[in-house]
Amino acid sequence: MQDVAADRQTDRADVTERADLVLPGQANHYGTLFAGQALSLMASAAFTAASRHARHDMVLTGVDTLRLDAPVPVGSLFVTQARLQRRGRSSVTIAVTGICENPRSGHRTQVAQGQFRLVAVDPDGRPQPITDRSSADENP
């Protein structure tokens, strides 16, 4: 088995994408993805993108905007795409797009978008600066 190291530059520039099948247990009484579930999936995508960018422990501190524009039926894929939007001293803002994908046809429709703020923290949970670790990470 071969070890595959993450490309540090690609991690910072690319979109983090994840697809989840919408199951009946995640649905509301209309048979579509419950808004709270959509928020959770989008927050998870934001956390992953922030962690990959900062390479620090991160905590979610706010959802600046969230729009749910269309329903996602049970049996669809809810695809999240997360990308770095802004980097501060100890925080990042991640833009997340939610997409409804028909698993049979592959047709995709944007159904949600949001901005999530995350902060790098030390072991005691206090904010810490995000440093560029790429050169240190390249030399194990």
Q: Which residues contact 92 (CB under 8 A, 6 or more apart)?
A: 50, 53, 54, 58, 84, 85, 86, 117, 118, 130
- How does pLDDT run along the chain (140 residues), one tens digit per residue? 444 344 333 444 589 999 999 999 999 999 999 999 999 999 999 999 999 999 999 999 999 999 999 999 999 999 999 999 999 999 999 999 999 999 999 999 999 999 999 999 999 999 999 987 643 444 44
For domain 8-122, the CATH architecture is Roll (3.10)
* Helical residues (DSSP H) of the chain, grouped into ranges: 8-13, 35-54, 134-138
Pair 78, 70: CB distance under 8 Å: no
Other beta carbons within 10 angstroms of residue 118's beta carbon come to 24
